[in-house]
Amino acid sequence: MAGEAADQKEKVCVTGAGGFTASWVVNLLLSRDYVVHGTVRQPGDIKYAHLNKLEKASVNLKLFKADLLDYDSLRLAIEGCSGVFHVASPVPNSLNDSDPEEFLEPAIKGTLNVLKACKKAKVKRVVVVSSIAAVVMNPEWPKDQVKDETCWSVPEYIKTTKKWYYLSKTEAEREALEFGKRNGLEVVTVCPSIILGPILQSTLNSSSSLIVATIIGGLESLGCNYWTFVDVRDLADALLLAYNKPEAAGERYLCNSHSIGIRDVVEKYLRPTYPDYKYPKNLTYAEEEVQHLSSEKLQKLGWTFRPVEETLNDSIESYRKAGIVG
């Protein structure tokens, strides 16, 4: 009987299911009674144990061994699904000086493999997680004008900066939207800013390390002193909205909730609650770090977001629980 009930529920696939963002997407989908196919590198690996502990996972979650560069493995995971959330993407340890192919091939070819598998499986909609990396590297954009969905990073300019992650996200997103138009596949892209919030997994992901670096001490200043960020739980909500709203078909959405300097992060929100951490001494940011981003289009779909302090406090408490910070 349980099998019959599962067959009647909507089935969706989440790529890179064990990652920071994707874990929260899986969690949200399970809570809304979707059956979820999650792609991971090695289903039995202990680093995916947190997924099996999610509510309803024992009934509604199935993990598939898949690789973005292996079309057949993706096809098997996506088969029978009415929708796909493509979250998996290579994430840098640093944003430059890396081998460009480390990012470009998995991001671009991997995205195209997912989309080809979606077309084959006749899924109704694909939501692709892009990044503001595909938005902000545009030297031609007027300096004081708010960046919205019409702003794209310029590949030729990115190449001069050697920020290959930015290039990979820009090229992959463009390819995704164009593939959708050419093939009659509903593709929606969502471009989040830095993704913060509590972790479900036991290890620290690269964006969360920004908060950890702010509180552990030993740093005069951070590499990023002006934060544009979104809570991972709010991003998961945005992705589900992009999946379910008919008017989102073929659209692009920026997803940013807060833009804030490091001084305010520390003095307004962190130090009053956590006075004993060793914060950076340099709490200023350079003018060129400032980004003005609009999520108005996403808010018109019905998206809302949490306050700053909730994201920061919940993040730190989750790192404490995981033993990452004291």
More confident residue, 223 or 17: 17
Would you say residue 140 lies in a domain? yes
Indicate the pTM of the whole model.
0.95
Q: Per-residue pLDDT tens for 113-168?
A: 999 999 999 999 999 999 999 999 999 999 889 999 999 999 999 999 999 999 99
pLDDT reported for residue 95: 47
Q: How far apart are CA 127 and CA 180, in angstroms?
A: 11
- Annotated catalytic residue, options 62, 119, 169, 268: 169
> With bands split at pLDDT 50, 70 and 90, how would you rate the model's confidence at 182?
very high
For residue 201, pLDDT beyond 80: yes
Best CA proximity match to 250, nearest among 198, 179, 315: 179
Residue 1: its pLDDT value, please? 32
Percent of the chain with pLDDT over 70: 94
Number of other residues whose CB lies within 10 A of the CB of residue 284: 11
pLDDT digits (tens, 9 = 90+) for 27-82: 999 999 999 999 999 998 999 999 999 999 999 999 999 999 999 999 999 999 99
Q: Does residue 2 fall inside a structural domain?
A: no
Residue 45 forms part of a structural domain = yes
pLDDT score at 288: 85
Give me the CATH number covering residue 194: 3.40.50.720
pLDDT of residue 55: 96
Confirm whether 169 is a catalytic residue: yes
* pLDDT surpassing 80 at residue 191: yes
**CB under 8 Å, gap of 24 or more: what pairs does 73-78 form?**
73/39, 74/15, 74/39, 74/113, 74/114, 74/117, 75/117, 75/120, 75/121, 77/13, 77/15, 77/37, 77/39, 77/117, 78/13, 78/37, 78/114, 78/117, 78/118, 78/120, 78/121, 78/123
The confidence band for 224, taking pLDDT boundaries of 50, 70 and 90, is confident
The two tokens of residue 225 are 């002193």
pLDDT of residue 282: 87
Residue 111 included in any domain: yes
Q: Is residue 3 in a domain?
A: no
pLDDT of residue 93: 57
pLDDT of residue 2: 42
Residue 4 lies in a domain: no
Q: Is the pLDDT of residue 7 over 70?
A: no
Q: Is residue 201 part of a domain?
A: yes
Structure confidence at residue 6 (pLDDT): 55
**223 is in which domain, residue-wise?**
10-321
Q: What are the tens digits of pLDDT across the range 25-42? A: 999 999 999 999 999 999
Q: Look at the chain and report how many structural domains it folds into.
A: 1
Q: What is the average per-residue pLDDT within 312-316?
A: 98
pLDDT for 4: 47
Taking all residues of the chain, what is their mean pLDDT, rounded to a whole number? 93
Q: How many CB atoms lie within 10 A of CB 213?
A: 15
